[in-house]
């Protein structure tokens, strides 16, 4: 499984055409599974399996990179606190979902430099209106604490706002230049979650709005917002109070918490004041944690969970022409569906590591690391046919027009297909040779045939890869990679840690003795926020909050910037092609899950953005 953590275009017909192309390529709605076979029941409790070793641990939808994941955002926060704009739906769409959003579609004017947002007038559960001041509250917090928000990248929001104001149900943004309205909607406005006045406080029991962040300005250096931020962070870290805190009880989504513990057991009940549609039919929706995929599968086999997944090791080999197995290992008690991820999968090298960062900075090194990843072999032996290669920074599934042709080369492996011999030749041609089976730099320097800048003679090609535990397939994957890499003289030390532990250490760090991790593998990135168009600024731009490995390339920054102001597919493909060539990350297979759903639970779909909408679900008898 994977975190999810993750755009726009300026006024003009070209952008509208691109949006139409995306809708045609990626966003067709598919009907949910058949709801026939019984009488619809109001009520009931549906249970849903969390991926192993993952638990929600950040309730406030202003999330730092150390806590930014699908399991905190799409499958937890979004159920209670609706973003300004929702994406995906109870279908296969990866487009903005205006009916489920708290605001109407934005209007771009003044040559694309003015954005007007009209709120729908939904209500918070305390009776207050979800209005413009709640959006300004978020924007002010961004101004004050952008460095502590996972979606921030230099030059993007709030840096690109000249001014903003809210009155009643209308928010007006003045931009520093004309941007593609597609990008700005999908990757900038998509970041905003309206926040209620009840959160604009600095202590429990204080009157809503008394913190003053919603009306703060730069005149006091955002002091009021900083004080509110410190209070809300302290409340967020106190996970034991999530279900009892009056702060988090104020919701505008279809669900509210009734139970939460630090082990990951979560119970939601309907919010009777929800303004949107549909209203929940279920009486309760429960999330259940598991330590590993074998215990989760046992729960499925014993009818102990309504919605879960079949581990790769227990999935029959994929038949030709079908997305799901020919036989159902769980029998008639469950129906099976595929869950594709609109994302990329990888591990992140730490370019600022004081001992090995200089090695990772060499492109030929990253090429060698990529060419020892046997993605086709892993698909066959580990994932039984239920994966596709990752070949660059743009998802290849679902099929979309953003994917450049270079990523489809070599049967989808991109420009650096699996080849231990090529990897070995790359290293030996750059001054490395094996010493006791491990490649070691013999020719230090920056000239032809030498190891490269900052790499001392005698440096051994050894590093530690921290990987997320809990799934047998991941353990098998890293073991295969370690074995294949060793054939090229690359010595990888594997250290398994929980998913939450790994993303907790993923903060970008400055060069120095405290920047100790070598490489992190926690799954990958879904383009489901903070960006929904895969233009790359959250991950690959210099200084971006989610650029954990501190990758920096001025040409990459320039190409990313061009995608923000141009609607041309050629411009986007120039960026995506360069990214595939440069390997800021090392790509790993993109496996898709086979999900199992209780046969008496209906209207359950699996969106590739991981948009979770149990308000659509119902039981039959």
CATH number at residue 223: 3.90.76.10
Do residues 442 and 357 both lie within one domain? yes
Q: Is residue 159 part of a domain?
A: yes
Q: Do 365 and 483 sit in the same domain of this protein?
A: yes
Domain that holds residue 310: 33-80+252-340+596-621
122 and 259 assigned to the same domain: no
Which residue, among 374, 563, 323, 333, has the nearest Cα to 483 in the 3D structure? 374
Is 554 part of any domain?
yes
Contact indicator for 75, 285 with CB cutoff of 8 Å? no
What is d(CA 88, CA 606) in angstroms, rounded to the nearest whole number? Answer: 10
Q: Which segments within 398-556 are labelled E, that is strand?
A: 432-435, 438-441, 462-468, 491-497, 519-526
Asked if residue 407 is part of any domain, the answer here is yes
What count of other Cβ atoms lies within 10 Å of the Cβ of residue 129?
18
Beta pairing, strands 593-598 & 307-310 = antiparallel
Task: Report the pLDDT averaged over residues 192-207.
Answer: 98
* 135 and 213 share one domain: yes
| Position 22 pLDDT exceeds 50 | no
Q: Are residues 572 and 483 in the same domain?
A: yes
pLDDT digits (tens, 9 = 90+) for 388-416: 999 999 999 888 899 999 999 999 999 99
Specify if 96 maps to a domain.
Answer: no
Q: Are residues 162 and 112 in the same domain?
A: yes
Q: Are 311 and 165 in contact (CB under 8 A)?
A: no
Whether residue 541 sits in one domain with residue 392: yes
**Does the residue 247 lie in any domain?**
no
Sheet strand arrangement including 170-175: 107-109, 114-118, 170-175, 161-167
The rounded distance, in Å, linking the Cα atoms of 166 and 173 is: 9
pLDDT bracket for residue 82 (50, 70, 90): very high
Taking the C-alpha atoms of residue 339 and residue 595, their distance in angstroms, rounded to an integer, is 7
Beta-bridge mates of residue 270: 255
Q: Tens of pLDDT along 151-165?
A: 999 999 999 999 999
CATH number at residue 326: 3.40.190.10
* 217 and 110 part of one domain: yes
Do 583 and 609 have their domain in common?
no
- What's the pLDDT tens digit per position in 204-220? 999 999 999 999 999 99
> pLDDT tens across 347-363, in order?
999 999 999 999 999 99
Tell me, yes or no, whether 94 lies in a domain: no
Domain assignment of residue 323, yes or no: yes
Residue-wise pLDDT for 249-298, tens only, equals 999 999 999 999 999 999 999 999 999 999 999 999 999 999 899 999 99
With 80 as the cut, is the pLDDT of residue 380 above it?
yes
Q: What is the pLDDT of residue 37?
A: 64
Domain boundary among 200, 220, 241: 241
- Note whether 503 and 365 are same-domain residues: yes
pTM over cut 0.75: yes
Query: Which residue shows structure tokens 């989610």?
Result: 546
Indicate if the pLDDT at residue 32 is higher than 50: no
Report the alpha-carbon distance of residue 225 to residue 309 in Å, rounded.
Answer: 42
Give which of 278, 77, 95 is closest to 194, Cα–Cα.
77
Q: Is residue 13 part of a domain?
A: no
423 plus 499 within the same structural domain? yes
Query: Into how many domains does the chain fold?
Result: 3
């Amino acid at each position: 499984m994977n975190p999810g953590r993750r755009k726009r275009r300026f006024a003009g017909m070209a952008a509208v055409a691109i949006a139409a192309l995306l809708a045609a390529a990626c966003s067709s709605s598919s009907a949910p599974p058949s709801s026939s076979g019984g009488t619809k029941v109001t009520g009931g409790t549906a249970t849903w399996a969390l991926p192993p070793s993952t638990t929600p641990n950040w309730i406030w939808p202003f999330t730092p990179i150390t806590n930014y994941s699908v399991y905190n955002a799409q499958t937890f926060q979004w159920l209670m606190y609706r973003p300004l704009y929702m994406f995906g739906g109870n279908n296969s769409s990866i487009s903005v979902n205006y009916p489920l959003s708290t605001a109407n579609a934005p209007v771009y004017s003044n040559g694309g430099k003015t954005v007007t947002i009209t709120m729908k007038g939904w209500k918070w559960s305390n009776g207050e209106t979800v209005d413009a001041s709640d959006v300004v509250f978020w924007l002010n917090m961004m101004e004050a604490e952008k460095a502590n928000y996972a979606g921030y990248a230099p030059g993007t929001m709030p840096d690109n706002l000249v001014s903003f104001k809210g009155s009643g149900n209308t928010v007006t943004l003045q931009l520093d230049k004309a941007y593609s309205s597609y990008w700005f909607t999908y990757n900038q406005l998509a970041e905003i979650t309206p926040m209620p006045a009840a959160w604009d406080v600095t202590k429990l029991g204080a009157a809503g709005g008394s913190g003053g962040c919603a009306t703060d300005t730069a005149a006091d250096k955002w002091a009021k917002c900083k004080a509110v931020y410190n209070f809300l962070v302290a409340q967020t870290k106190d996970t034991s109070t999530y279900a009892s805190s009056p702060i988090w009880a104020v919701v505008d989504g279809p669900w509210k918490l009734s139970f939460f513990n630090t082990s990951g057991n979560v119970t939601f009940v309907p919010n009777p004041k929800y303004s949107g549609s549909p209203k929940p039919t279920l009486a309760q929706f429960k999330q259940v944690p598991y330590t590993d995929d074998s215990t989760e599968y046992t729960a499925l086999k014993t009818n102990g969970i309504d919605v879960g997944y079949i581990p790769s090791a227990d999935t029959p080999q994929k038949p030709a022409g079908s997305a799901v197995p020919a036989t159902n290992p769980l029998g008639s008690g469950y129906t099976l569906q595929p869950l594709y991820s609109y994302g990329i999968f990888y591990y992140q090298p730490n370019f600022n590591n004081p001992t090995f960062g200089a090695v990772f900075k060499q492109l030929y090194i990253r090429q060698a690391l990529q060419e020892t990843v046997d993605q086709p072999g892993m698909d066959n032996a580990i994932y039984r046919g239920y994966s596709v290669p990752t070949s660059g920074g743009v998802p290849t599934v679902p099929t979309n027009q953003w994917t450049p042709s270079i990523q489809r080369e070599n049967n989808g492996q991109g420009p650096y297909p699996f080849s231990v011999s090529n990897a070995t030749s790359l290293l030996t041609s750059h001054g490395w040779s094996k010493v006791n089976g491990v490649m070691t730099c013999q020719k230090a320097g920056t000239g032809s045939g030498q190891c490269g800048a900052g790499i001392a003679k005698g440096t051994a090609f050894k590093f530690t890869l921290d990987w997320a535990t809990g799934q047998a397939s991941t353990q098998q994957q890293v073991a295969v990679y370690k074995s294949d890499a060793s054939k090229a003289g690359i010595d990888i030390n594997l250290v398994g840690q929980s998913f939450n532990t790994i993303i907790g250490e993923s903060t970008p760090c400055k060069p120095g003795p405290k920047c100790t991790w070598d490489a992190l593998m926690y799954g990958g990135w879904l383009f489901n926020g903070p960006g929904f168009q895969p233009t790359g600024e959250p991950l690959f731009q210099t200084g971006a909050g989610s650029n954990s490995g501190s990758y920096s390339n001025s040409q990459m920054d320039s190409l990313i910037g061009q995608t923000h102001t141009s609607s041309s597919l050629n411009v986007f493909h120039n960026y995506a092609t360069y990214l595939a060539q440069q390997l800021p990350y090392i790509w790993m297979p993109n496996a898709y899950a086979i999900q199992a759903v209780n046969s008496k639970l209906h209207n359950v779909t699996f969106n590739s953005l991981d948009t979770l909408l149990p308000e659509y679900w119902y039981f039959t008898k």
